[in-house]
């Protein structure tokens, strides 16, 4: 998994690439925790190039949601599609988060 | 497809190797993309479960077998750990609020949801979880 973060005016955008699984989720959690601890509390995660996610990956996203909620932050997910979309639907996660069709619309919603 | 079995140390860092093995078997079988995705998800959940819970007092192995079951693809994961039927776990509440929601419980939900059928048996000191994946009919959504 690659974790690519970039700052926009409205939020930090984190693109996840590859697989978010039991091996890579701890890496994701560490990187995201560093961002949030550093003061980035408005976060958009871009799933466009994420090919795969498991329950370990979803747990990582849940940890992020809890950390941001505790800090009064905001979290939006963009470009959830394909197999990742199927996993969100299977888990009920799709109805628990703010999902956007694109990073641009996620940023608009946060600005 | 003839049965193909590999044995791995039950460690999460073997997930990539296990996934490659089963993915290769799925390709040889000619499994469609949607069913292949569900197969690999159920595989991870079952394998990681063995890594985390089967051997609380030490290390052990996970034996992974791929074979045909009629027109379907069958995956079995066996361990020699304490007797435990992952399918006996209750279904998680997938509607709970994000903050109230307990962490965990989703793995077995994915095993049940992804496999066309799943069964557990204890045999000769081994826990054996067997999952069958029926290929999508042509025209099904992935």
Write the pLDDT tens digit of every residue in B95-124: 655 444 554 478 888 999 999 999 999 999
Does some domain include residue A98? yes
| Domain CATH number, residue A91 | 3.30.750.24
Compute φ and ψ for B96, nearest 5 degrees.
-65, 150
Report the number of distinct structural domains present in chain B: 1
Q: Please tell me the distance from the alpha carbon of residue A86 to that of residue B58, in angstroms, as a whole number.
A: 35
Number of structural domains found in chain A: 1
Within-domain flag for B24 = yes
Contact call for A92 and B41, based on CB within 8 A: no
Overall pTM surpassing 0.80 (yes/no): yes
A→B interface, C-beta within 8 Å? 21-23, 52, 54-56, 58-59, 62-63, 65-66, 69, 82-83, 86-87, 90-93, 95-97
Chain B residues closer than 8 Å to A83 by CB: 34, 37, 41, 142
For residue B3, the model assigns a pLDDT of 96
- Kindly determine whether residue A92 and residue B95, on different chains, have CB atoms separated by under 8 Å: yes
In a domain, A109, yes or no: no
For B9-37, write each residue's pLDDT tens digit.
999 999 999 999 999 999 999 999 999 99
Contact at CB, B142 and A69, closer than 8 angstroms: no
Q: How confident is the model at residue B94 (pLDDT cuts 50, 70, 90)?
A: low
Chain B residues with beta carbon closer than 8 angstroms to that of A66 = 98-99
Task: Report the pLDDT averaged over residues B62-67.
Answer: 98
- Show the tokens assigned to B22: 């089963």
Q: Do B98 and A22 touch (CB under 8 A)?
A: no
Could B98 and A83 be called an inter-chain contact, meaning their C-beta atoms sit closer than 8 Å? no
What is the average pLDDT score of chain B?
90
Is residue B103 in a domain? yes
Q: Is residue A111 part of a domain?
A: no
Among residues of chain A, what percentage have pLDDT more than 70? 100
Place of tokens 């791929």: B66
Label residue A48 by pLDDT band (50, 70, 90). very high
What residues make up the domain containing A45? Answer: 2-104
Establish if B141 belongs to a structural domain. Answer: no
Judging contacts by C-beta atoms under 8 Å, the chain B residues touching residue A62 are 98, 101, 103
Assembly ipTM: 0.94
Q: Mean pLDDT, to the nearest integer, of A26-51?
A: 97
Query: Which string of DSSP letters, residue by residue, matches chain B?
Result: ---EEEEEES-GGGHHHHHHHHHHHHHHHT--HHHHHHHHHHHHHHHHHHHHHT-TTS--EEEEEEEEETTEEEEEEEE-SS---GGGSPPP-TTS-TTTSPS--HHHHHHHHHSSEEEEEEETTEEEEEEEEPPPPTT---
Q: What is the CATH number of the domain that holds B24?
A: 3.30.565.10
Does residue B139 lie in a domain region?
A: no
For residue B30, what are the domain limits?
A: 4-133
Q: Which of B123, B23, B15, B142 is nearest to B73 (CA)?
A: B23
């Amino acid at each position: 998994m690659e974790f690519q973060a970039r700052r926009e005016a409205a939020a930090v955008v984190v693109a996840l690439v590859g697989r978010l699984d039991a091996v890579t989720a701890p890496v994701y959690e560490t990187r995201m925790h560093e961002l949030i601890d550093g003061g980035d509390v408005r976060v958009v995660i871009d799933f466009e190039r994420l090919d795969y996610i498991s329950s370990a990956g979803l747990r990582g996203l849940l940890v992020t949601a809890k950390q941001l909620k505790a800090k009064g932050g905001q979290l939006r997910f963009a470009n959830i599609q394909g197999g990742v979309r199927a996993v969100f639907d299977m888990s009920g996660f799709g109805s628990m988060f703010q999902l956007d069709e694109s990073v641009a619309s996620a940023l608009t919603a946060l600005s | 497809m003839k049965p193909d079995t590999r044995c791995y140390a039950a460690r999460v860092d073997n997930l990539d190797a296990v996934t490659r093995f089963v993915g290769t078997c799925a390709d040889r079988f000619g499994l469609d993309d949607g069913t292949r995705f569900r197969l690999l998800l159920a595989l991870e959940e079952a394998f990681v479960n063995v890594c985390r819970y089967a051997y609380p007092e030490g290390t052990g192995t996970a034996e992974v077998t791929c074979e045909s079951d009629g027109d379907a693809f069958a995956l079995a994961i066996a361990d020699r750990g304490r007797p435990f039927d992952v399918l006996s776990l209750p279904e998680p509440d997938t509607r709970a609020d994000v903050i109230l929601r307990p962490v965990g419980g989703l793995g077995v939900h994915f095993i049940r949801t992804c496999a066309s059928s799943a069964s557990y048996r204890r045999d000769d000191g081994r826990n054996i979880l067997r999952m069958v994946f029926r290929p999508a009919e042509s025209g099904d959504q992935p």
